């Protein structure tokens, strides 16, 4: 039998290239129906995100973790783009401050300042925002085999709502649902969320890789 850690063999072991527990939990949930043994990246491993786009950073992380582990790797790079802030925090979403509450506080403060400036110019407030996710899958050699992006449009609230999720979820409001990300259950967020939409685009290609090489389930 050929080892699943060799290039060209189905990813029966898939390492999630992230140290973010929220992302690992969300991606593991999305991957649950596939015949994969899902693992987190090695403890203490960090990949410098030097890319200027979500897609570039996802590629960097997938390549590095695949080479380091000798397994297939799935990387996510995602963040929040706020129209009135010129697309910020963007690729710097995770580094906007040193904790989730601090990141939310900075976002609400800076958007409030932008709103006041717009009002002084006789323009209405602009709370439009979008969560964007880029996913990349690398084979054990570090070669990128799949790349997709997903997007969810919404608005930024002035105060958090809900106790679920992570990151900016409590202030990201999706008008069509009447809920913030933090108020959604896993199923709804999985269907409408940026990461869920990206995964919906990724899944057919991932299933094709599995089917083309005869993957079979592996016990964790």
Q: Which residues are known to be catalytic?
A: 77
Q: What number of other Cβ atoms are within 10 A of residue 189's Cβ?
A: 24
Q: Residues within the annotated binding site for substrate? A: 18-23, 78, 166-169, 189, 194-195
Q: Residues within the annotated binding site for Mg(2+)? A: 48, 77
Beta-sheet pairing, 37-40 with 72-82: unpaired
Paired strand residues for 77? 134
- Burial label for 54, CB within 10 Å (0-12, 13-18, 19+), is buried
Place of tokens 């090695």: 42
Q: Residues within the annotated binding site? A: 18-23, 48, 77-78, 166-169, 189, 194-195
Are the C-beta atoms of residues 154 and 174 closer than 8 Å to each other?
Answer: yes
Single out the residue of 140, 150, 160, 164 nearest to residue 25, CA to CA.
164
């Amino acid at each position: 039998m050929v080892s699943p850690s060799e290039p060209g063999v189905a990813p029966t072991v898939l390492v999630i290239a992230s140290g973010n527990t929220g992302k690992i939990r969300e991606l593991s949930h999305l991957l649950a129906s596939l015949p994969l043994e899902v693992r987190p990246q090695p403890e203490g491993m960090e990949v410098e995100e030097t890319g200027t786009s979500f897609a570039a950073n996802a590629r960097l992380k997938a390549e590095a973790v695949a080479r380091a582990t000798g397994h297939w790797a799935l990387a996510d790079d995602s963040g929040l783009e706020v129209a009135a802030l010129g697309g910020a925090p963007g690729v710097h979403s995770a580094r906007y401050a040193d904790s989730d509450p601090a990141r939310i506080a900075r976002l609400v403060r800076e958007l409030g300042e932008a709103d006041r400036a717009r009002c002084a110019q006789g323009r209405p407030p602009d709370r439009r925002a979008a969560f964007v996710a880029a996913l990349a899958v690398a084979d054990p050699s570090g070669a990128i085999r799949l790349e997709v992006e997903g997007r969810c449009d919404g608005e930024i609230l002035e105060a958090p709502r809900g106790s679920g999720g992570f990151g900016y979820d409590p202030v990201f409001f999706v008008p069509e649902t009447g809920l913030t990300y933090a108020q959604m259950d896993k199923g709804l967020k999985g269907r409408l969320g940026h990461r869920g939409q990206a995964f919906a685009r990724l899944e057919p290609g991932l299933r094709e890789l599995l089917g083309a090489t005869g993957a079979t389930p592996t016990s964790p």
